[in-house]
Amino acid sequence: MNYPHLFAPLDLGFTTLKNRVLMGSMHTGLEEEKDNFEKLVAYFAARARGGVGLMVTGGISPNRQGWLVPFGAKLTSRSEISRHSHLTKSVHDEGGKIAMQILHAGRYSVHPLAVAPSAIKAPISPFKPWEMSRRLIRATISDFANCAARARESGYDGIEIMGSEGYLINQFVAPRTNHRKDEWGGSAENRFRFPEEIMRTVRQKTGKDFIIIFRVSLLDLVDDGSNWDEIVLLAKKMEAAGATILNTGIGWHEARIPTIATVVPRGAYTWITEKLRAEISIPIITTNRINTPEKAEEILKNGHADMVSMARPFLADPDFMIKAAAGRGDEINTCIACNQACLDHIFSKKNASCLVNPRACRETENWAKSGMRDEESGMRGQNLTQNFSKNKKKVAVIGAGPAGLACATELAGRGIETHLFDAANETGGQFNMAKRIPGKEEFYETLRFFNKMIEKTGVHLHLNTRATADFLAAEKFDEVVLSTGVLPRIPKIEGIGHPKVLIYTDVLAKQKMVGKSVAIVGAGGIGFDVAMFLSEPHPRKPGEFLSIENYQNEWGIDPNFENRGGLKKAEKPDVPRKIWLLQRSKNKVGERLGKTTGWAHRMTLKKRGVEMWNEVEYMKIDDTGLHISIKNQAQIIEAEHVVICAGQESQREILQPLADLGIKTHLIGGAKAAGELDAKRAIEEGTKLAFEIAG
């Protein structure tokens, strides 16, 4: 059997989970759609069909004060039960199990009704919370229990009580946010009374045969968080009060340590679940940066946990478990932990999706329903009846970057004769540079996935081939897709031809040597990538992840728990060169980077001593270095090299010749528009265009 530990059933006494994987809670934005949960139902049904053992919904509030945002998802009245029942029935019909997460945001609520154990404002919310009265505390405990009872009535197999990430329950538990002097604050016993009473009341209201997961914060990663003895005590109390399973929570939302981003090594937090597992007797789930069946199997085999939670990997591929079970792990579309279409969307008030799988959370849209047949799961989408008999069209896709790869594999998957051309000797385009950036090692997985799909769908791949318009006409292609990508923009600066000037492609693709002092012109996504690459204190082989020990030292995470919250002094990085990262505009350097990861990139570069300057005017480049002016003050950066990262221009020189020959041509990705280009747009455009062409 493939992955025997992953696929071992888990007997909970009154029910059995078919495998050891939990699809962790993720807010998608569909919870608030006014559509009787139709989109949410399709989203969960697809994942239930994919074979995951147990799923957890996004956070549902037990009352209005607990809303994350005004009018956020809640389950506070009987009238709301019917749409939840619709959801649970659809999951059960697909052979799945689902638990509803009850989340009270406390001082993380972004609205004026926010409440907390003490009136202490969170650094990530504009609202100062109201201190909860003793009466309100009692009422909130009842709200949790009533919400749980309604969840049971709605057909959920269980609930998860959100006790981590710095939400209300965590706020009661930690001295950082609980300054109360009454029976709900002070000693650990008093601070833990709130979760204890919730657990006991919820168990009483829901009965013995109902899954109750308690998500406990094992590492707060903030000052004045819990210490290890308290975490063990709380876990034991939750077990005694009726929890079926404990789940691991890592880091409060206000913590300044990345815990799920791509810079975090895989399985970086399983050690702490293992530590707690030795203290309790109920099953415990581990989490954070687990994204392949191999990693999950290794964790379970090594006894770090009883179950593994993966959330984003199921956005990236709903059929993860089916493919793993069938020994087709190389067909899994792996989550690259970029956050670009999931968390960044949610924090920008948009529905979540996935950079590598644009169908995620759009399962009801026509283009998303249609797609490649998967022998085990039926379809990627949901339209199981569509007939993909050979489509007679012959299509050329020019350029094997993310846009071209997505389009070509989707076309071929629909039976269209598809030829994919690239002048390079490998597929991947810009991804081949991205994968070399320390902390972006996961990009290798996306390329592995697409290369496998090329093979599986029968795309005719022509590398080292520059397709001309005449050739495409002679080969009688019905339609051509131009996914030829971008070329670096070369700014008009005096001395731009000086030998000390390098283009980012020289550094990342051609691997030219770079001196001990470097000025980077342009601080967009690529400027930051180059700065990260050139300042990396832990050089390693391509594709090799940062070690967990180096990650802990770099960010100040203490596995010995000498201080509350598990923090220690971060190590001073040993940086190989002096770097200046420059931009002309006034806004903060890095302001346009991803909402949930940009802060960590800025912080990393700051710790590495990278100078990040805005309002820079470039005057000239000569033997001395880069001459600039800031607010009319001239100065010279005596850099050995100047690296140009000044954006891109579309590369589409065969567009006009194709038009002259009357060949129907489509533009996608960077070839269509270079500004604001990212892989998310490229893959989505490629996927949608294939649907259009297939008709």
312 binds ligand SF4 (CB under 6 A): yes
Residue 462: exposure state from Cβ atoms within 10 A (0-12, 13-18, ≥19): middle
411 binds ligand NAP (CB under 6 A): no
**Least distance to ligand NAP, CB of residue 681, Å:** 9
472 binds ligand SF4 (CB under 6 A): no
Nearer to ligand SF4, 203 or 680 (CB): 680
List 395's β-bridge partners, or say none.
418, 479
**Least distance to ligand SF4, CB of residue 405, Å:** 15
Question: Could you tell me which of 142, 162, 148, 157 has the C-alpha nearest to residue 246?
Answer: 162
List 612's β-bridge partners, or say none.
581
The angle subtended at Cα 662 by Cα 656 and Cα 664, nearest 5°, is 85
Nearer to ligand SF4, 337 or 639 (CB): 337
Nearer to ligand SF4, 416 or 682 (CB): 682
Catalytic status, residue 167: yes
Give yes or no for a contact between 627 and 520, defined as CB atoms under 8 angstroms apart. no
Candidate segments 194-202, 329-337, 430-438, 452-460, binder of ligand SF4 by CB under 6 A? 329-337
Q: Where are the beta strands (DSSP E) in 331-408?
A: 373-374, 378-379, 391-398
* Tokens (6 digits) for 470: 């005449």
Q: Which residues contact 518 (CB under 8 A, 6 or more apart)?
A: 534, 577, 578, 579, 580, 639, 640, 641, 642, 643
Which residue of the set 3, 167, 444, 618 is catalytic?
Answer: 167
321 binds ligand SF4 (CB under 6 A): no
581 binds ligand NAP (CB under 6 A): no
| b/e 98-130 (16+ beta carbons within 10 angstroms → b) | bbbbbbbbbbbbbbeebbbbbeeebeebeeebe
Q: How far apart are CA 226 and CA 136, in angstroms?
A: 24
523 binds ligand NAP (CB under 6 A): yes
Coil, strand or helix at 191 = helix
* Tokens (6 digits) for 523: 């601080």
* Tokens (6 digits) for 289: 């940066």
Give yes or no for a contact between 320 and 659, defined as CB atoms under 8 angstroms apart. no
Residues touching ligand SF4: how many (CB under 6 A)? 14
600, amino acid identity: A
* Tokens (6 digits) for 402: 């993310």
**Least distance to ligand NAP, CB of residue 524, Å:** 2
To which residue do tokens 């070329």 refer?
Answer: 487
Residue of this chain nearest to ligand NAP (CB atom)? 524
382 binds ligand SF4 (CB under 6 A): no
48 binds ligand SF4 (CB under 6 A): no
When binding is defined by CB under 6 A, the residue of 25, 583, 596, 650 that contacts ligand NAP is 583
312 binds, among ligand NAP, ligand SF4, none (CB under 5 to 8 A by kind): ligand SF4
346 binds ligand SF4 (CB under 6 A): no
Candidate segments 165-173, 383-391, 535-543, 675-683, binder of ligand NAP by CB under 6 A? 675-683
290 binds ligand SF4 (CB under 6 A): no
648 binds ligand NAP (CB under 6 A): yes
Q: How far apart are CA 527 and CA 505, in angstroms?
A: 11
* Tokens (6 digits) for 544: 């090799």
Residues 454-513 that bind ligand NAP (CB under 6 A): 489, 491
Nearer to ligand NAP, 177 or 648 (CB): 648
Torsion of CA 580, 584, 587, 593, to 10 degrees: -60
Candidate segments 29-37, 301-309, 445-453, 581-589, binder of ligand NAP by CB under 6 A? 581-589
When binding is defined by CB under 6 A, the residue of 163, 381, 590, 647 that contacts ligand NAP is 647
Q: Which residues contact 354 (CB under 8 A, 6 or more apart)?
A: 312, 315, 316, 335, 341, 342, 360, 361
Nearer to ligand SF4, 184 or 443 (CB): 443
Candidate segments 134-142, 544-552, 624-632, 670-678, binder of ligand NAP by CB under 6 A? 670-678
List 630's β-bridge partners, or say none.
616, 633
Question: Could you tell me which of 126, 131, 133, 123 has the C-alpha nearest to residue 106?
Answer: 131
238 binds ligand SF4 (CB under 6 A): no
527 binds, among ligand NAP, ligand SF4, none (CB under 5 to 8 A by kind): ligand NAP
Candidate segments 86-94, 337-345, 542-550, 552-560, binder of ligand SF4 by CB under 6 A? 337-345
To which residue do tokens 């002092």 refer?
Answer: 517
522 binds ligand NAP (CB under 6 A): yes
Return the active site residues.
167
Chain positions contacting ligand NAP, by CB under 6 A: 489, 491, 521-527, 529, 583-585, 594, 645-648, 676-678
Binding site for ligand SF4 (CB under 6 A): 312, 315-316, 335-342, 354-356
